[in-house]
Amino acid sequence: MRVLVVEDERRLAANVARGLRENADYAVDVAHDGEDGLFMAEANSYDLIILDLMIPTLPGLEVVRRLRSAGQHTPVLVLTARDEKEWVVKLLNAGADDYVTKPFDLGELIARAKALIRRGKGHAAPVLRVADLELNTVDRTVRRAGRRVTLTAMEFRVLEYLAHRPRAVVSKAELLEHLYDYNWEKFSNVIEVYISGLRRKLENGAARPLIHTLRGQGYILRD
């Protein structure tokens, strides 16, 4: 999953980004003002935007309004030092999905981020199921037909994204956009390497494959 953090307090932005990378294994981009944040949100594909309300050049509330006016449906989690009822109403009416009042607990922020990403992709429960595959997005474990499957961090990220979109064709370009941050150099065959590793581990002793390749289109997770 790929997250955009828009926060002008650089230490806080760095702490949030580090927490998301280390505890959720998300790819994270950071912007420090509203105009840069809006540009990055419009130019890239994100699974979640974490947005400070009081940021320079363009207020967070206006960023939300412009994203929603442009048809952007990416979940938005707002960070705010203001918890007055009228501001909460304005945020939600503008299209924000949730908010956290500063100062906040980083663990709570990460839990809210995971929940928003799941809901944004149509999943309320933390455990994703496809056929006999179970993927737990909280403790980051995978089981197939009850058997524990040990994956590398990147293998889990690829499988998690596919599991959020079961029975849908996911292109290699889409996977690259959602698994890596803005600065990563995207090598052409890296996705094929992870898919190959996933197939080997998931199909070990299984009767049927789960990950299928549609030549020229991408990959699909289905029974």
pLDDT tens digits, residue range 160-178? 999 999 999 999 989 988 8
Report pLDDT for 188: 62
Those residues with Cβ within 8 angstroms of residue 148's Cβ, 6 or more apart along the chain or in another chain: 141, 142
10 Å CB burial of residue 206 (0-12, 13-18, 19+) is: middle
10 Å CB burial of residue 136 (0-12, 13-18, 19+) is: middle
CB 202 within 8 A of CB 149: yes
pLDDT cut 70: percent of the chain above it? 97
Mean pLDDT (whole number) for 21-48: 95
Kindly list the structural domains of the chain, giving each domain's residue range(s) and its CATH number in brackets, ordered by start: 2-120 (3.40.50.2300), 127-221 (1.10.10.10)
Provide the whole-model pTM: 0.88
Instruction: Using the predicted structure, report yes or no on whether residue 186 has a pLDDT greater than 80.
Output: no
